[in-house]
A and B are shown apart, each in its own frame.
Chain A
Amino acid sequence: MKTANMARPPVVAIIAGALLALIIIACAAAPLIAPYGMSEQNLKDSLASPSAKHLLGADKMGRDLFTRILYGGRVTLISAVGVVTLSAVIGIPLGLISGYFGGMLDAIVSRFCDMLIAFPSLLLALVLVFAFGRGLGGAVVAMGIAFVPMLVRVVRSLTLVEKNKTYVEAARSIGFSPMYIIFKHIFPNCAATIAVQFALDLGYAILSLAGLSFLGLGVQPPTADWGAMLSEGRDFLLPAPWLALCPGLVIVLSVLCINTLCDGIQQYLDPAQQPLPSFRRREKPLEAAEVRAANLKEGAARGE
């Protein structure tokens, strides 16, 4: 009997996670697996097509594209993690504290965040890049700050729900200090949702950083991340389309994996989002016993 009652294992999310892990490990182990040196030039192979010698072809200077994607991935992934970490270091404490204490501080923080959220984040990043200077450091700081207001809003709303729960009241009546309650009790209980937000932001950070590098405002040559490589590659679109397409595809693949993985985790965390069983397509109605068995099974699947 093929029932819809079985909770479908999140196959897609698992595949996405595995693929993402593969990309991360490959980039981390770049010096071990890359067939060439990072900027090893070989002018004879200028614009070579993909072949056994150059897996994904070579660029104008004869640098192996596969090697450069691996090394570029390190720059992209590390700076994306940098962006999200920066926003988390500022945003999480701010959200927790303003949500927990409320009052004047909360009003100021919330107004300020509302104002910044009203600003398109790319525009904010462009202004900040102008202020902090072009280059990877400037871009990371700019994007990191641009991500703060949204994170503050998410963390604050989680804290507002959490702080009225019994365990917080208990902790307060025992006499724990507010800071201890915030970071030792409330934060761990919000951590799962914050982690998902963190991962989603990571995908968005990869896209945004690639965008800034593409515009020539992020990574500066000779260093290259995926965005900068894509930008370089577009000058050779007709003779060597793979130079632009390969870095582009890796960007899409990584972000797609992150988004899919997050969707999977969210569904797992929130049973209401799981597809409900549908009995519409059955030709004859279920027998009462069958329904009861199905319900039991569903209950077991949800851990009731």
Chain B
Amino acid sequence: MARYILRRVAAFIPALIISSIFIFFMVRLTGADPITSLQGTQRLSEESRIALTREFHLDKSLAEQYFIWIGGMLRGKFPVSFKYRQPVDRLIASRLPTTLQLVGMSFIFAVFFAITIGLICAANKNKAVDRILSAVLVLFASTPSFLLAIVLMLVFSLKLGWFPSFGAGHNFRENLYYLLLPSLSLGAAMMSLMGRVTRSRMIEELGADYVCAEIAKGTPRHVIMFRHCLKGVLIPVVTIGGLQLGGAIVGAVMVESVFALGGIGDLLIAGIKSADYPIVQSIVILMTMLFLFLNLVVDIAYTALDPRIRAERITSQ
């Protein structure tokens, strides 16, 4: 097991290097001139233009710029944003907790509702309850998160006045309240897929031979479902959930925009709009790292939880 984890962690590093090169050169494909977008309305003299170009290392070759960037990141030194004139890490530091809490809360909602709905559907397969709940799941899969966010905001913030319509709180506790609607909107799409997987896996599991044996023994239905089948169901659900969690870190952009939460997604969009390479590069690599890291955790958890896969993967080394 330890060797397997080590091997996976080792594979993580080249993936990160390749993504960083890819991100850097993709971002630089753009023709937008950062100095022009930097100056805004005021005119720049030729001297200050040259000085700025030198300050941001834009006079060096792309390869050199890449090594300056990646070298700085490795030493924990983020590049300086063109627009805000601050190192990007300082900009991120105040925004990251909001985004992470948003994603975390939406994941908890998604898992809770997905498993509950999936199990109810599976227990009442093809009955009216199942049909209605399955239709609801498909509906959520077809609804963009920003639309759901707008609807929730309209009903619960603007009409009923139960929740704030924009902005985030100042600390974790306040945010439990401020981020409730945003996290529900972000979690709905995640819930939809996980719910459908829970349903179909549970139905499959309930048709297995061992369930037949349990029924013959007279084991009550809820014991069969919760004590025996649930274990087999949870593993694929957790896997898919983990992948979706990575997607949600990016998907949070939309919801953050509706509720003006000021998370890193907002910063990324602002960076894209103002051709601010340092912001775009740094946030994209940060999100990629988080995403790859989550994949790694899920993969290891998957191997650790499921004895069948553990046996297969460890012996195949």
Interface positions of A (Cβ within 8 A of B): 115, 118-123, 126-134, 203, 207, 210-211, 214-217, 230, 234, 237-238, 241, 244-245, 248, 251-252, 255-256, 259-260, 263, 275, 278
Contacts and interface: CB of A to CB of B under 8 A. Distances in A.
B138 interface: yes
- The 7 A-B pairs at the shortest CB distance, nearest first, are namely A131-B29, A255-B142, A248-B147, A256-B142, A123-B250, A120-B247, A120-B250
B141 A259 contact: yes
Contacts, number: 117
B253 A241 contact: no
A211 B284 contact: no
Given A122-B247, A130-B272, A230-B150, A251 B139 contact: no
B292 A127 contact: no
A256 B139 contact: yes
A256 B139 CA distance: 7
A241 B154 contact: yes
Contacts of B300: none
Interface of B: 15, 18-19, 22-23, 26-27, 29-32, 126, 138-139, 141-144, 146-147, 150-151, 153-154, 158, 246-247, 249-251, 253-254, 257-258, 268-269, 272-273, 275, 280, 284, 287-288, 291-292, 295
A123 B144 contact: no
Given A119-B288, A130-B280, A131-B30, A217 B254 contact: no
Contacts of B126: 275, 278
A260 B135 CA distance: 10
Contact of A260 (B18, B23, B138, B257): B138
Contacts of B19: 115, 119
Given A130-B275, A131-B27, A217-B273, 16 more contacts: A115-B19, A118-B292, A119-B291, A120-B249, A123-B287, A130-B280, A131-B29, A211-B254, A215-B253, A215-B257, A216-B273, A230-B150, A251-B147, A252-B147, A255-B143, A259-B138
B146 A230 contact: yes
A203 B142 contact: yes
Contacts of A241: 154
22 contacts: A118-B291, A120-B246, A120-B249, A120-B251, A122-B253, A127-B26, A130-B272, A131-B29, A210-B144, A211-B144, A214-B254, A214-B257, A215-B253, A215-B254, A215-B269, A230-B150, A234-B258, A237-B150, A237-B154, A245-B151, A251-B144, A275-B126
Given A122-B247, A129-B272, A207 B254 contact: no
A117 to B, nearest CB: 10
Given A211-B144, A217-B269, A128 B26 contact: yes
B273 A134 contact: yes
A31 B32 CA distance: 37
Contact of B284 (A127, A134, A238, A278): A127
A130 B30 contact: yes
Contacts of A260: 138
A252 B288 contact: no
Contacts of A252: 139, 142-144, 147
Contact of B272 (A120, A207, A217, A251): A217
Contacts of B251: 120, 122
B284 A244 contact: no
A127 B27 contact: yes
Nearest to A241: B154
B150 A131 contact: no
A131 B281 CA distance: 12
Contacts of A278: 126
Contact of A122 (B141, B250, B273): B250
Nearest to A260: B138
Nearest to A122: B250
A90 B32 CA distance: 27
Contacts of A122: 247, 250-251, 253
B248 to A, nearest CB: 9
Contacts of A215: 253-254, 257, 269
A211 B142 contact: no
A120 B254 CA distance: 14
B143 A244 contact: no
A260 B288 CA distance: 33
A34 B18 CA distance: 51
A238 B139 CA distance: 25
A130 B141 contact: no
Contacts of A245: 150-151, 154
Contacts of A127: 23, 26-27, 280, 284
A211 B269 CA distance: 12
A9 B126 CA distance: 16
Contacts of A244: 150, 154
Q: Which of A215, A252, A260 counts the most B-chain CB atoms under 10 A from its CB?
A: A215
A128 B30 CA distance: 9
Given A120-B247, A234-B150, A131 B26 contact: yes
Nearest to A121: B247
A234 B255 CA distance: 13
